[in-house]
Amino acid sequence: MNETVQNLANTLRQLGWQLCTAESCTGGLIAGACTDLAGSSDWFDRGFVTYSNAAKVEMLSVPLHLIDQHGAVSEPVARAMAEGALAHSKAQVSVAVTGVAGPSGGSADKPVGTVWFAWCLNGKTSSERQHFDGDRAAVRGATVSHALSGLMARLIKS
């Protein structure tokens, strides 16, 4: 993880960009992983922990009808979170996660371990769904790792 964060930091510094995060199921762990690195204020702007649906609406301007129609753990909500984080920050790049970390809260359509990711950079938002096995800590850890490596992959392509 440390190597990924260091590479991310170096790339964002080279681009002169800053990152913001919008997190639900990880509760700030992505921002924490970023700010564990000394000097992160050069490239990390802010993190939004929007665990409740109300927080997603109030802090990130996620339209309530998206949550009502698709549920908080969905592609449209993840994308709206990533876009809302950018709109409410000074960053040029965002990552958003929303998922079911468990051990309860899953359903047939969205079992425990389901996580939606969204990344927004260069005015383009991309998203994907992943499923991670393990307990709550394992799901959250895998989510942090995937969020950061997915961002790095998109930065390299940009």
Q: How confident is the model at residue 72 (pLDDT cuts 50, 70, 90)?
A: very high
User: Do residues 63 and 34 lie in contact, with contact meaning Cβ atoms separated by under 8 Å?
Assistant: no
CATH fold, domain 20-134+142-157, is Maf protein (3.90.950)
What radius of gyration do the chain's Cα atoms show?
Answer: 14
Distance of CA 139 to the CA centre of its chain: 14
Q: What is the pTM of this model?
A: 0.97
Token pair belonging to 61: 């301007």
Q: How far apart are CA 74 and CA 117, in angstroms?
A: 9
pLDDT digits (tens, 9 = 90+) for 12-44: 999 999 999 999 999 999 999 999 999 999 999
pLDDT digits (tens, 9 = 90+) for 79-131: 999 999 999 999 999 999 999 999 998 888 999 999 999 999 988 999 999 99
pLDDT digits (tens, 9 = 90+) for 44-56: 999 999 999 999 9
Q: Is the pLDDT of residue 1 over 80?
A: no
> What is the model's pLDDT at position 2?
86
Give domain limits for the chain.
Answer: 20-134+142-157
